[in-house]
């Protein structure tokens, strides 16, 4: 007479069963790999930056125009916002009463769209790169500044050409 351990023999796996188990194992391994990436030097910081306000922009040719009045998120010096147009997404900051900066919102590290603003810096949500309102890298992993565009502010309308 056979013991219960001897009686239990593994039935051969079908090709379908083998593939199903292999895919499950690969999924578990992949999930572990992504979880392990969280502590890398290029992961975002534990604090997320507040999202930027959005302002409307219009396009004529290669020129973007943004109206700024007392109700605009850009009404106060030190404020920042984003505008999305057919020419791209741009970061705008008010650096003085009559002075603004306009930058591309595409991070120079891995081309993520920058969407946060904290401590007077633009913050990339993908890996935590920080940029000054002039576009310079304040904290990596990005190593190149954001592209900037000359601005003109007149009659309550900010314009820049891309």
Domain residues of the chain, as ranges? 13-43, 53-161
Helices H / strands E in the chain, number of each? 2, 13
Mean pLDDT over all residues of the chain? 79
Q: Is the pLDDT of residue 73 over 50?
A: yes
CATH code: domain 53-161 is: 2.102.10.10
**CA gap 88, 65 in Å, rounded:** 13
pLDDT digits (tens, 9 = 90+) for 36-47: 333 334 444 434
DSSP 3-state of 121: strand
Say if CB 36 and CB 28 are below 8 A apart: no
Query: What is the three-class DSSP state of 52?
Result: coil
């Amino acid at each position: 007479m056979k013991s219960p351990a001897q009686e239990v023999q593994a039935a051969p796996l079908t090709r379908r069963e083998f593939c199903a188990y292999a895919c499950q194992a690969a999924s578990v391994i992949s999930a572990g790999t992504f979880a392990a990436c969280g502590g890398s030097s290029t992961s975002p910081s534990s604090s997320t930056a507040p999202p930027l306000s959005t302002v409307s922009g219009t396009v004529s040719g290669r020129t973007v125009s943004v109206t700024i009045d007392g109700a605009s998120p850009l009404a106060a010096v030190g404020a920042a916002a984003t505008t999305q147009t057919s020419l791209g997404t741009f970061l705008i900051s008010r650096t003085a009463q009559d002075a603004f900066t306009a930058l591309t919102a595409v991070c120079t590290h891995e081309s993520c769209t920058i969407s946060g603003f904290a401590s007077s810096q633009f913050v990339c949500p993908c890996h935590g790169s920080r940029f000054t309102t002039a576009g310079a890298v304040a904290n990596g992993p990005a190593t190149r500044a954001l592209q900037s565009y000359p601005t003109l502010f007149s009659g309550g309308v900010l314009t820049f050409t891309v």
